[in-house]
Amino acid sequence: MEDYLGEQVTTDATSHEVLKLGWMNADALRRTLDTGEAHYFGRSRQEMWRKGATSGLVQTVVESRSDDDQDAIWLRVDVGGAGASCHLGYRSCFYRTIPTAEQAGHALTFNENGKAFDPVATYGDVPNPTRL
How are beta strands 47-50 and 72-79 bridged, if at all?
unpaired
Q: What is residue 1's predicted lDDT score, i.e. its pLDDT?
A: 61
pLDDT at residue number 106? 64
Give the amino acid at 23.
Answer: W
Residue 30's alpha-carbon distances to 24, 25, 82, in angstroms, are 9, 9, 26
pTM for this model (two decimals):
0.80
- HSE (side-chain half, CA atoms, 13 Å) at 61: 23
Question: What pLDDT is recorded for position 97?
Answer: 87
Give CA–CA dist 120/87, Å, rounded. Answer: 10
pLDDT tens digits in sequence order for the chain, 132 residues long: 678 889 999 999 999 999 999 999 999 999 999 999 999 999 988 999 999 999 999 999 999 999 988 899 999 999 999 999 998 899 999 999 888 777 666 666 777 788 887 878 877 776 666 655
**Residue ranges per domain, the chain?**
5-79
Task: For domain 5-79, give the CATH number.
Answer: 3.10.20.810
pLDDT at 122: 76
